[in-house]
Amino acid sequence: MQISDLIEQLQKLKDDHGDLEVLLQGYDDNICSVAGASFEEVEDDNQYPEDWQMPKGFKFVNIRTFG
């Protein structure tokens, strides 16, 4: 998903329901409060597990949670 796609979805939710709290649901069904977001760029091919397919130079937004 691109940033613009996420913004569009969030804006529609805000327009329809107001300024809501944002929670993140993981693969294990745990739900956490979103703490923030940051720009990340992979600096080393071994920085992440190989099956994550995040080669050196890969750029992404990291959504952080409160546990």
Q: In sequence order, which residues have a C-beta less than 8 Å from that of residue 41 and are 6 or more positions away?
A: 57, 58, 59, 60
Residues 16 and 50 sit within 8 Å (Cβ to Cβ): no
Q: How many Å apart are CA 9 and CA 66, to the nearest integer?
A: 22
Q: Three-class SS of residue 32?
A: strand
pTM for this structure? 0.76
pLDDT > 90? residue 67: no
pLDDT in tens, 19-66: 999 999 988 888 999 999 999 999 998 899 989 989 999 999 999 998
